[in-house]
């Protein structure tokens, strides 16, 4: 698996990441969503550098310009609900991409720390021979991403698989390396220290879905 850490050099990305983590700024859910969206735009730009392009000519009011355009077909697929704001950021840049949505959540049988990932909803186009970009803001254990890809990947074979996450834990990255094909690309805005005993990222930022859209029952 090819891993791209895009916050290693200081940029406006680090500014947005800092605001996401700040407990005082987190109280503004609209600002939280907007910062996630902005990070999605930055990640989409960086990812776009790895796609294939083709030569084209366009007519301007004053002549012909020989230039390039994206040759790859792109499918954006986010994991509900936390992935929606990040998805919007990618969609702002890949505005002609097809879009898919999948649900995945931790199901705790006995209200303890043990859980399994349930994937119960899927609405996605064909991604045969296309670039599939799977979007989820938090990479904790990695089990949700693997479960979703296994469900999506049963019959169709994408050209390439890109996974975009805002914050990742080392344990989740190790799990993806073990369970996903080598041709996958993982895009990470920030790498954090570890998972705690409840498998939440430390220092992390909390529950991205709750911060963006409100607490759930």
Q: Where are the domains of the chain?
A: 2-213
Confidence at 121, pLDDT banded by 50, 70, 90? confident
Give the pLDDT confidence of 41-66 residue by residue, as tens digits: 999 999 999 999 999 999 999 999 99
Q: Provide the terminal-to-terminal Cα distance of the chain, rounded to the nearest Å.
A: 36
**Percent of the chain whose pLDDT exceeds 90:** 72
Residue 149, CB-side half-sphere exposure with 13 Å CA sphere: 21
pLDDT at 114 over 70: no
- Banded model confidence at residue 112, pLDDT cuts 50, 70, 90: low
| Residue whose structure tokens are 């029952």 | 217
Q: Which runs of E-coded beta strand occur in 91-193?
A: 98-103, 105-107, 116-118, 122-123, 131-135, 138-139, 160-168, 184-191
Confidence of residue 103 (pLDDT cuts 50, 70, 90): confident
Cα gap 77→137, rounded to integer Å: 12
Q: pLDDT by residue (tens digit) across 148-205?
A: 888 776 667 899 999 999 999 999 999 999 998 888 999 999 999 999 998 899 999 9
pLDDT given for residue 154 in this prediction:
60
Please say whether the structural domain 2-213 has been given the CATH code 3.40.50.2020: yes
pLDDT classification of 3: cutoffs 50, 70, 90 = very high
Q: What distances in angstroms separate CA 168 from CA 125, 186, 192, one per listed residue?
A: 27, 10, 6
Tell me what pLDDT residue 149 has.
Answer: 84
Digit-coded pLDDT (tens) for 78-95: 988 889 999 999 999 999
Mean pLDDT throughout 68-84?
93
pLDDT at 155: 66
Model confidence, pTM? 0.91
């Amino acid at each position: 698996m090819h891993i791209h850490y895009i916050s290693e050099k200081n940029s406006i990305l680090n500014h947005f990441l800092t605001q996401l983590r700040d407990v005082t700024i987190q109280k503004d859910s609209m600002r939280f969503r907007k910062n996630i969206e902005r990070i999605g735009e930055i990640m989409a730009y960086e990812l776009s550098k790895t796609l294939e392009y083709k030569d084209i000519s366009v007519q301007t009011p004053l002549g012909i310009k020989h230039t390039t355009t994206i040759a790859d077909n792109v499918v954006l697929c986010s994991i509900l609900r936390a992935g929606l704001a990040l998805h919007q950021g990618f969609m702002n840049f890949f505005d002609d991409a097809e879009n898919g949505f999948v649900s995945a959540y931790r199901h705790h049988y006995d209200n303890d720390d043990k859980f399994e990932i349930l994937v119960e909803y899927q609405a996605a186009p064909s991604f045969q021979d296309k670039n599939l970009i799977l979007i989820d803001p938090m990479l904790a254990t990695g089990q949700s991403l693997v479960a979703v890809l296994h469900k999506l990947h049963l019959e169709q074979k994408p050209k390439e698989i890109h996974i975009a996450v805002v914050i990742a834990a080392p344990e989740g990255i190790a799990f993806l390396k073990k369970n996903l094909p080598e041709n996958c690309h993982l895009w990470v805005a920030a790498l954090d220290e570890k998972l705690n005993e409840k498998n939440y990222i430390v220092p992390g930022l909390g529950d991205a879905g709750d911060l963006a859209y409100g607490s759930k029952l």
